A and B are shown apart, each in its own frame.
Chain A
């Protein structure tokens, strides 16, 4: 089973939930797909075995073969190629690698075969072991934008026979979709504040549209109001567990400590979460 932990709003406790569930679930694969700001390694502290570069192909123009016809710039919808006219010699092609989406249109459609592709690094994947957890994360280079590409590469490490837990990025746009696409279940973590509730409703729209079975975890319960729980009741969304607000938890989190392996109460909450996910998933399977 592949379980993704997502949220809409950032900072609601995705990583806390994903990491601690991994600790109680036994042998798991853990994929941190928040490649812009990966954090799970700060808690699980895996021993990384080197890094694998993630690169994307970008066009390189062979000036000898290029006739300056402009086909490449015409077909590139991302404006990553521009043809600069020149009064005395043939037009020159400029490439803007940061705008390139690596679709391959220019190299495929160049009538002279003058465009080849070179790999440009946009980030890395690191993997390693920590206890029973096989850990993988992607890390996008600062200044890059193609996070979905790195997320898809991290997800190539999914083992279909093992339990996989995915820590998703915040938001509701393309990186989130890339992270949760194809998962069996999605845990949406929220906090009992108006911000938490508002962004939860957006996240619910995403998982419903993608037809992914899901449930909600209410983190920092007791700090805000009951609006998130009322919303779940009205929408018939299962609340998988509530994690009480406790300053002690915040302090532990801040020092990079895990919870489930240090406190019996926390271990119970995260075990219950995993059991409830299995139960809700089974019910969803039966209905469909």
Chain B
């Protein structure tokens, strides 16, 4: 069983459209949507939820006002600015370290378990999908990503699936690293812009850091052929395989509006390109 993650660095370059296409194209796989704070893959795959789980992670401080002697020791030690001047907890800043509770002389602070999201196992027209919903403004997205990837791996092993295909989050931070750890390949989807190049470069560095092979697709390549060539040259110079190019095509937006993948959409030429991209990617992994 091989795991492939679709990443981009910069948001909005077409990760989810690409993952959706692979979901339609690739046989015998499990899908995972690891963009847990703004998940969109379900809009293309319309999953039917079969399992629902709470995601609890970390703790948050709570001050019992009746027990509090208002000494301000908690405010003094908290490095996250999570204790307000009125000695209450700002939940969105609390990182759950528990130092306040440990130093409180009146034992007025308790650390309470934090319910910070939900995750699901679902069935779709293209097979099983594991996905999640992180609560608004929550931390621990990396842990939630690790949790759903673990579940997807278990399902894939049990059902002898060949592939786990992961839709990754934008950026290079904690949920990206959790999406990336231990995968067999990264499919990097970028766009031909200076931002696309800049951000793809940071994902390529991250791939090197973790010693994971990266293949690249330039989406909407014809918006700027010169930058496309610049990106591809950068890749060649940095040991990144070129998996292909996709042109700008309104058929993509039309398909998304209808809740369909490109493979179910109107553009035959895009389908041909996606098949080529998959063949090259498969060649790089197997």
Q: Does A84 count as interface, using CB distance less than 8 angstroms?
A: no
Q: Does A234 count as interface, using CB distance less than 8 angstroms?
A: no
| Cβ-Cβ contact count across A and B, 8 Å cutoff | 188
Within 8 A of B (CB), among A101-160: 101-105, 108-109, 140, 142-145, 147, 152
Contact with B along A240-273 (1 / 0, CB 8 A): 0000000100110111100000000000000000
Contact with B along A178-208 (1 / 0, CB 8 A): 0001000000000101110011001001100
Q: How far is the CA of A191 from the CA of B40 in the complex (A)?
A: 14
A254 interface neighbour in B98, B103, B141, B194, Cβ under 8 Å: B194
- Total count of chain B residues near the partner, CB < 8 A: 65
Q: With both chains docked as a complex, state the minimum distance between the C-beta of A201 and any C-beta of chain B, in angstroms.
A: 10
For chain A, what secondary structure do more than half of its interface residues adopt (helix, strand, loop), or is it mixed? Answer: loop
Q: Which residue of B lies closest to A180 (CB)?
A: B137
Whether the Cβ atoms of A254 and B191 lie closer than 8 Å is yes
- Total count of chain A residues near the partner, CB < 8 A: 59
Q: Does B223 count as interface, using CB distance less than 8 angstroms?
A: yes
Contacts A11-B10, A37-B171 given: A142-B209 contact, CB under 8 Å? yes
Q: Which residues of A contact B10 (CB under 8 A)?
A: 10-11, 37, 39
Contact with A along B194-237 (1 / 0, CB 8 A): 11101100100110010000000000100110010000000000
Q: Does B97 count as interface, using CB distance less than 8 angstroms?
A: yes
A11 interface neighbour in B11, B96, B136, B256, Cβ under 8 Å: B11
Q: How far is the CA of A225 from the CA of B138 in the complex (A)?
A: 31
Whether the Cβ atoms of A143 and B209 lie closer than 8 Å is yes
Whether the Cβ atoms of A194 and B224 lie closer than 8 Å is no
Q: Footprint of B on A, CB under 8 Å?
A: 8-12, 15, 34, 36-37, 39, 42, 75, 77-78, 101-105, 108-109, 140, 142-145, 147, 152, 169-177, 181, 191, 193-195, 198-199, 202, 205-206, 209-210, 223-225, 247, 250-251, 253-256
Q: Footprint of A on B, CB under 8 Å?
A: 8-13, 16, 36-38, 40, 43, 58-59, 77, 79-81, 92-93, 95-99, 102-103, 134, 136-139, 141-142, 169-177, 191-196, 198-199, 202, 205-206, 209, 220, 223-224, 227, 248, 250, 253, 256-257, 259
Q: Could you list 17 further interchain pairs (A-B, Cβ under 8 angstroms) beyond the known A142-B205, A173-B175?
A: A9-B12, A11-B13, A11-B191, A36-B170, A37-B10, A37-B195, A39-B198, A105-B98, A143-B209, A145-B174, A147-B174, A152-B81, A170-B11, A173-B134, A202-B37, A224-B257, A255-B224
